[in-house]
Copies of this chain bind each other. A is one copy, B any other.
Amino acid sequence: MKTEECLQRIGDDLWFTEIDRNNLKIDYRIKEVVYRENSPLQEIIVLDSYDFGRMLVLDDAVQTTSGDGYIYNEMISHVPLNIHPSPKNVLIIGGGDCGVAREVSKYSNVERIDMVEIDEMVVRTSLKYLPEVSGGKPDPRVNFIFQDGTCYVKENRDYLYDVIIIDSSDPVGPAVKLFELDFYKDVYDNLCKDGLMVCQSESPIFYTEIFTKIYKNLSSLFPIVKPYMATVPTYPGGFWTFTIGSKKYSDVNPGKFDKETKYVNREIIESCFALPNFVKEELGIIN
């Protein structure tokens, strides 16, 4: 749908309506439209909302907010980085809001952070208008590559990575190919022989088909596949999943979790792999 219909003035108030699905809408009361521009790929809007602070909206879908973006970004970053015992080279695919790069930068043992994002304007916008998410200034180790992530992993012969983090938007628009088996095969080939990947794997309630397809695809490639969960208030239903595909490591590293975070701690990293029965059933995991 057109953004014009999503931003509406009702009386004195400005409201942004997100239509995630045909049958459920979420309306946010907005203080102001901070930024609005079309990139070659999508419409980018930054809104200042009453409940969640600044929000990054791409083609009418809320991607991250100052208020709760840390939950998603911490969960997709710290969980894999605490399963690999010594991650040195990290690849981020997508992650235009720079929140994942910010979390990965908290690991002093990580030497190289390659971030392949298809839309440079999302990065520029986030660094400028969403400092609570992006951190404002990237760590010197972050190497931005503005390219289609699927092409990058197909063509890359220079580096093998210890950890690859796939921080994609939903499988509509530019991100569709990031949910295909061919892409995951290339990701597999870009990993060291003991490497692991993680991707955001959507809602197990509203996008059951996508969630289960990711699990199936990764299971056809990796010996170890582990979905995990977090609650992200601004994503439909709150319930969100991530899925790890790993060549070797499956357990959380021992020792204290010593990073400064708002959501993640050692108990959270250990407990996030507990899956409700209905999720196990979707995946065909027997209790």
Contact among B23, B51, B236 with A49 in the assembled complex (CB-CB below 8 Å): B23
Q: Among A104-112, A132-140, A178-186, A271-279, which stretch is in contact with chain B?
A: A271-279
- Known contacts A233-B236, A270-B274; 6 further A-B pairs (Cβ under 8 A): A23-B50, A24-B28, A231-B238, A268-B274, A270-B271, A271-B271
Tell me the chain A residues, 228-284 only, with Cβ under 8 Å from chain B.
229, 231-233, 236-239, 261-265, 267-268, 270-278, 280
Q: How far is the CB of A236 from chain B (nearest CB, A)?
A: 8
Number of interface residues of A (CB under 8 A): 43
Number of copies: 2
Q: How far is the CB of A274 from chain B (nearest CB, A)?
A: 4
**Contact partners of A49 in chain B: CB under 8 A:** 23
A23 to B47, CA, bound (A): 14
Q: How far is the CB of A273 from chain B (nearest CB, A)?
A: 8
**A21, CB-defined interface residue at 8 Å:** yes
- Is there an interface contact between A26 and B29, defined as CB atoms closer than 8 Å? no
- Is there an interface contact between B277 and A262, defined as CB atoms closer than 8 Å? yes
Residue of B nearest to A30 (CB): B23
**A27, CB-defined interface residue at 8 Å:** yes
